[in-house]
Amino acid sequence: MKPTRFNFLLISILVLSVSVIAVAEKDEILLKNGNIITISGADIKGGDILIKGSKIEKIGKNIKAGTDALVIDLHGKWVMSGIIDSHSHIAVEGGVNETGNLMTAEVDVKDVLDPEDYNIFLALAGGVTTIHTMHGSANPIGGRGIVLKLRWGSTATEMIFKGAPETVKWALGENPKQSGFSMGKGRYPKTRMGVEASIRAIFEEARDYMKAWDDYNKKKDNKVKPLPPKKDIRLEVIADVLRGKYLIRCHAYQAEEMLSIMKLCKEYGVKLAVFEHGLEGYRITNELIKYGVGVSTFADFWAYKWEAFKTMPHSAALMAKRGVLIALNSDDAERMRRLYLDAAKTIRFGGLSENEALRLITINPAKMLGVDKWVGTLEPGKDADIAIFNGHPLDPYTFCEMTMVDGKVLFDRAKYFEDRKKAEEIKKQKEERKKAEEMKKKESEKKPDENQKKPDPKSIETQAPKGGN
Amino acid sequence: MKRRQLCFLLLLTLLVILPAVAFSADEALHSVWAVKDCKVIVQPGRVIEKGVIIIRDGLIEYAGANTVIPADAEIIDGTGLTAYAGFIDAFGDSTLKMPEEKTDPSKAYSGDYSDRERGIAPEIKAYDYANLTKAGITKFHKNGITAALVLPSKGIFTGQASLFSLSQTVKEKAVIIKDNLLGIGFSASSVTGYPDSLMGVIAFLKQEFADLAYYIMHTSRWEKDMNGISRPEYKAEFEELLPFFTGKKQVVFLCRNQYDIIRAIKIGSEYKLKYLICDIGGEAFRVIPELKKSGVPVLLALGFKSPSTSIYSQQGKDVRSEAERELYPSNAARLAEAGIKFAFSSYSTPEPDKFLGNIMIAVEKGLATEKALRALTVDAASFFGVERALGTIEAGKIANLVISQGDPLLKESKVKYVFADGIKFDMKEKKAEEGEKPTVNVSGKWEVTTEGGMGMKYTLELTQEEATLSGKRITQYGQDEFTDGTVSGNQISFTISISAMGRMVDIYISGVVEGDTINGTISFGAMGSAEFTGKRIP
Specify the 3-state DSSP secondary structure of A185: coil
- Whole-number Å distance between alpha carbons of B347 and B92: 5
Any domain includes B511: yes
Clarify whether residues B355 and B452 are in a common domain.
no
Q: Compute CA distances B121 → A258, B115, B214, B514, whole Å.
A: 43, 7, 20, 54
Any domain includes B108: no
Any domain includes B307: yes
**Measured between beta carbons, which residues in chain B are less than 8 angstroms from residue A427?**
318
Among B364, B394, B420, residue at a domain's last position: B364
- Whole-number Å distance between alpha carbons of B65 and B53: 9
Residues 35-64 (B) with a CB less than 8 A from some CB of A: none
Residue closest to B363 by CA, chosen among B373, B354, B352, B353: B373
Any domain includes B226: no
Clarify whether residues B267 and B152 are in a common domain.
yes
Residue closest to B176 by CA, chosen among B381, B317, B413: B381
Any domain includes B336: yes
Domain total for chain B? Answer: 2
**Measured between beta carbons, which residues in chain A are less than 8 angstroms from residue B210?**
230-231, 233
Any domain includes B293: yes
Q: Cβ A98–B196 below 8 Å, yes or no?
A: yes
Contact B151, B129 (CB under 8 A): no
User: What is the third-level CATH fold of A83-375?
Assistant: TIM Barrel (3.20.20)
According to CATH, where is 2.30.40.10 located in chain A? Answer: 19-81+376-422
Residues 141-180 (B) with a CB less than 8 A from some CB of A: none
Residue B292's domain comprises 88-100+113-212+248-364
CATH assignment of the domain containing B161? 3.20.20.140
According to CATH, where is 3.20.20.140 located in chain A? Answer: 83-375
**pLDDT value of residue B113:** 84
Among B364, B380, B412, residue at a domain's last position: B364
Contact A337, A83 (CB under 8 A): no
**pLDDT value of residue A448:** 53
- Whole-number Å distance between alpha carbons of A125 and A104: 34
Establish whether this prediction's ipTM goes over 0.90: no
Question: What value does the CA radius of gyration of chain A take, rounded to a whole number of Å?
Answer: 29
**pLDDT value of residue A22:** 43
Nearest-CA distance A383 → chain B (Å): 27
H/E run at residue B483: strand B478-488
Name the region of A283 (left: φ>0; alpha: ψ -120 to 50; beta: rest). alpha
**pLDDT value of residue B532:** 87
Q: Which of A16, A98, A469 sits opposite B199 (nearest CB)?
A: A98
The answer, for B197 touching chain A at a CB cutoff of 8 Å, is: yes
- Whole-number Å distance between alpha carbons of A469 and A44: 89
CATH superfamily of A19-81+376-422: Urease, subunit C, domain 1 (2.30.40.10)
- The pLDDT tens digits of the residues spanning A428-463 come to 998 899 999 999 888 887 655 544 444 444 443 334
- The pLDDT tens digits of the residues spanning B358-399 come to 999 999 999 999 999 999 999 999 999 999 999 999 999 999
Among B364, B396, B415, residue at a domain's last position: B364
Clarify whether residues B464 and B360 are in a common domain.
no
H/E run at residue B498: strand B491-500
**Measured between beta carbons, which residues in chain A are less than 8 angstroms from residue B486?**
none
* Type of residue found at B499: S
- CA–CA–CA angle B90, B94, B98 (5° rounding): 120
Per the DSSP assignment, residues forming a β-bridge with B486 are B468, B493
pLDDT in tens, chain B (538 residues): 444 444 444 444 433 333 333 344 344 456 899 999 999 999 999 999 999 999 999 999 999 998 999 999 999 999 999 999 999 999 999 999 988 777 777 777 777 788 888 899 999 999 999 999 988 899 899 999 999 999 999 999 999 999 999 998 999 999 999 999 999 999 886 566 899 999 999 999 999 999 999 999 999 999 999 998 999 999 999 999 999 999 999 999 999 999 999 999 999 999 999 999 999 999 999 999 999 999 999 999 999 999 999 999 998 888 999 999 999 999 999 999 999 999 999 999 988 878 999 999 999 999 999 999 999 999 999 999 999 999 999 999 999 999 999 999 998 899 999 999 999 999 876 544 456 788 888 898 998 888 765 567 888 889 888 888 888 888 877 788 887 788 888 889 888 877 665 556 677 888 889 888 898 888 775 556 778 889 998 8
Any domain includes B297: yes
CATH assignment of the domain containing B487? 2.40.128.120
Q: Cβ B110–A117 below 8 Å, yes or no?
A: no
- Whole-number Å distance between alpha carbons of A252 and A295: 10
Any domain includes B183: yes
